[in-house]
Structure 1
């Protein structure tokens, strides 16, 4: 879950200063007159030679010296460590926390057992998406992870929308790491044996080298793997320990985006947004049968019954020219959609893309034309994902 309006393509920032930064929480620096936040792993990224960029208000690693393609392929073949501490972590505490949050989403939260996670969306009254989030049932209520670029609006919305008997709190003293790839389980299992048997979208409390962590089997790459929430002050120590394990390499935002694109996963601001319904985005499975009392229900239920006016699809690109976000798609002379995400696939060694197109043109095999600057590129609709998921079901 990366906020696409902060897509990592902003102008890179030059690291400032050589003084080590103490990982005691989110750190703020001033660059060009604007406050830019740093995660607790900022100093580690510089020592690892990361190329830093401003992303969703944070200085984050775009890639390390190996480069995006090698980082991507390493994650697909071994294990990659990601700093995702820019994501927002918050808690909703109270006996009715799950029921209260459920009223703002498609549903399925009230019956969530302890330790279970659910991917869902916050809905607006127009049938669009405020944000896509991960919700975990914990002893006191719910732990929620939101997109970095949506934190402020999400937190304000939740404070306003939740009832008084639910206590909402930001958890700015936490960091978040992701260990992803086919070797992630064997590596993390040597340090915390209890995680090896976790099913996908389940979590537990564990200690790694004496560091208390909340670990879930989840991620944003299509690979098996884990996300680790822990105190900000422990983040550099744990990240250093994980990077010392055979098979683990640091991975930046560039490869995180190419990995999720290959996996056909939605990116907020691209495939999801305030004017895109979850049904258009291919998330109809979020809605339990028979429920009709969620925000934007009139529009969304119509999409579920009769089909949406447009759909998210994969695109197979003919030739080597990448077709990127915003490229218009045509059937003959008529524009019928636009690319929502696109780029080079390191795993497939060719360009790929996702798009929102009019439903009439969403069937696999449909041939279309993309306009890339002054060139017309032949594309065809294909099924998602481009690379099969390898979650542990």
Structure 2
């Protein structure tokens, strides 16, 4: 049974395993009559060729309370888009596919680029941003949830538990963040959370002193989880990074705009596994190496907006502090894993720490060297102000893609 500990910063909603998924879904059917639920799934075409997404679609086909599923499809040509339409046709819910590489949505992107509003990096953040704009334009959603397309251990209970806190009208929450243990092949996973974010937050606190934003992020058991749900009215104002800082960026936006009492985290799975990124020690533009740089920059940028001053000297101190904290955690995670019959590869864990420490400096230098960088995608409020007809055109484009043979 899960614990019932509360950290006092954001509400933690546990899975105490006293009710069935069927009872929860019956309640969600009632709640969704007033707060229709939309699910966003950002996906590469390659995910359609993997067993994880096939299982996810099978599970979603049994969910009775979803009003619409929005699939953001990247890296697909015309033939692959046609195959995607067939692939998702078994979903009984209303569903729309945003073919981002198609000519119609490419033309939408060109309009945004001409107005200097287009996301400048490909990836999950850009995919999600366009899907959010589409949901906003539909005007038929009360709650929007998001999860990845590569979850190997997916069950429909994950979605029910994720959306319940923001769909139940008697709860005060406008945002819920999923959490879970990351275990794969009898080994602890989630290296970026365990070996970068956790020791980096501890180190930032030691170097710059107590800061409420650091307390807030430390309260989340899995801050990099890709699963979250929110009331749809939050979408217009959110400004998020287009890179791997997406999850931290979303949490930062919620911290900026809402009381902690309106934010919760929810236990959505006993175990969780998805596609693993390589460390990419030799290539800082891919894998966990790039992820660590993007996430570190997102944290530094946010603290800077709250008045924290960084310098070369403070970054050197931060690196040294991080390295010591991270190595201590390698030991703790090793002991935790061993006590539970799991393993960790201490050599590979320390290699990851060494890479993350070097990337901390690189991220800090990039932050100091480019003070005029604007890494956030614009809010949809700004887009609608600059291009009032664009969302309508997006909907027409998606509908035309859907109807085209």
The TM tier, using the shorter chain, reads: under 0.3
TM-score by length of 2: 0.27
- Larger RCO: Structure 1 or Structure 2 (Cα < 8 Å, ≥ 6 residues apart)? 2
Q: Which has the higher helix share?
A: 2
Larger relative strand fraction: 1
